[in-house]
Amino acid sequence: MSKSERAQFATRLGVLATTVGSAVGLGNIWRFPYEAGVHGGGAFMLVYIFFVLVIGIPVATAEFIIGRHTHSNVYGAFRKLHDSPFWKVSGVIGIVASLMILSFYSVVAGWTFEYILRSLQNFNGAETQEALHAQFNQFTSSWESVVWTLAFLLVNYLIIRRGVQNGIEKMSNILMPVLFVILLAFCVNSLFMPGASQGLEFLFKPDFSSITPQVLMGAMGQAFFSLSLGLGGLITYSSYFSSKTRLLGSAASMAGLDTLVAIFAGIIIFPAVFTFGESPAEGPKLVFEVLPSIFLDMKFGQVWSVLFFVLLFLASLTSTISMSEISIAYFTEERHMSRRNATLLNTAIAMLFGTLSALSFGPLRHMTVCGRGVFDLLDYLSSTILLPLGGMIISIFVGWVIKRSVIYEQLDVVSPAKARLVKVVIFCLRYVAPTCILLVFLSGLGVIRF
Ligand code: TRP
């Protein structure tokens, strides 16, 4: 496909809203609090922010450079820039990992449907924490959760079938600001809870002794996941950017807003965790068990609750749309499938693995590899291993392989100040990001100790 035939995002706000739309999703509101909870709160937060700055923003910029320069899907982009099998393999990693993420992500996105309905029924009048736990466990271990997973993938299918500009851009423009305001309101509400100071202390006061290799691995994986990095999602999106889009600025604003939303989610959840006597280290269930308690306690809780889960569902949708686009662009441009068939294939694969993931909370609970069920395994392999690996390849590629002139042209270096900034980014891509990723991997695998 030639440059001019490819769709483009229409406006600057559109670019910001779509990239933030891709980044902000369950990663911020569901995964960030649960990972922070499991990994000791403040220590996790500190390491997380460090990784966003030294790895997240540079790698996001690198993906933007590759995408806008080649105007291609992730596999084609590497092929165009350097036709060697090694770099193409990283394109394949991206496509496989995006399908893995789409599968388990849809399970959690499906939970939001159930929670919209339950909000309407006021959680069947559940009065205690135990009752809410029991309701959640009963639901996630039943076939109902499979039905919602498939329903979510169907909605995703109906939108991605229509192509890039129509659906994605318009929806994100409206949705993201609304979500932001609502989250802010919930933050204020949480600050007045009896457990507020304990919750904030947990989230913001780092205990340096609890920074373990697992915390580093978890925080790095979370940074990649939340910023939609490492598997070419941003390569694919930026292939639709116009030549006017400022890449470095877009990467920084996206990372900033995304991190802000994650911090909001933490400020909403942890005061409630301590107020209602929950354990912060509850894992994937944490947010879904804690939120209903918050809503049941609020004035007009039912209205807030419905609104929140509707927004969470929509935020998940803007993220799954971006994930799906990775493999669809590959199927259509490299494998010459029609958009219709590519979309069907993407949905069919996700439905299969999504069903297995959903069942791993119930009937398939005992099907495990290295102690992890299907859901857990897909999450771990993709977020903790494949995304950072993809990120390392992308940073080495842009830092060492690609021509400098391409970087300077894409980043629009016009002033000495800008040139200095770009040098810092290149330094991070050449040395800091690959070294950090390697060290974190080695320490996580127990090869080195500190
Ligand atoms: N960043 C999204 C979230 O936080 C998830 C996501 C969307 C993603 N597209 C991606 C993760 C591409 C990795 C790669 O919910």
Dump pLDDT digits (tens) for 362-401.
Answer: 988 888 888 899 999 999 999 989 999 999 999 999 999 9
Q: Report angle CA 110, 26, 144 to the nearest 5 degrees.
A: 15
Residue 3: the pLDDT is: 43
Integer Cα distance of 101 and 386 in angstroms: 11
Q: Check whether 428 has a pLDDT greater than 90.
A: yes
Distance spanning both ends of the chain, measured CA to CA: 50
CB 106 within 8 A of CB 324: no
Q: What is the mean pLDDT of residues 329-333?
A: 90
Q: What is the mean pLDDT of residues 154-177?
A: 77
What backbone phi and psi angles, to 5 degrees, belong to 372? -115, 135
What backbone phi and psi angles, to 5 degrees, belong to 369? -125, 125
Integer Cα distance of 159 and 28 in angstroms: 22
pLDDT tens for each residue of 17-33:
788 888 999 999 999 99
Q: What is the mean pLDDT of residues 120-128?
A: 81
pLDDT tens for each residue of 241-257:
888 899 999 999 999 99
What backbone phi and psi angles, to 5 degrees, belong to 388? -60, -35
Give me the chain's average pLDDT, please.
90
Residue 80: the pLDDT is: 87
Residue 2: the pLDDT is: 43
Q: Check whether 444 has a pLDDT greater than 60.
A: yes
Which is it for the CA torsion 415, 411, 225, 436, positive or negative?
negative
Hey, whose CA ends up nearest to atom 2 of ligand 1? Answer: 23
pLDDT-derived band of residue 67, with 50, 70 and 90 as boundaries? very high
Distance in Å, CA 321 to ligand 1 centroid: 10
Hey, whose CA ends up nearest to atom 11 of ligand 1? Answer: 228
Q: Which residues contact 209 (CB under 8 A, 6 or more apart)?
A: none
Of the listed ranges 2-6, 383-387, 404-408, the one predicted with least confidence: 2-6
Residue 4: the pLDDT is: 46
Integer Cα distance of 194 and 172 in angstroms: 35
Residue 319 CA: nearest ligand 1 atom is 7
Distance in Å, CA 399 to ligand 1 centroid: 23
Q: Check whether 1 has a pLDDT greater than 50.
A: no
Distance in Å, CA 17 to ligand 1 centroid: 14
Q: Check whether 178 has a pLDDT greater than 90.
A: no
Q: Check whether 10 has a pLDDT greater than 80.
A: no
pTM summary value: 0.92
Q: Check whether 63 has a pLDDT greater than 50.
A: yes
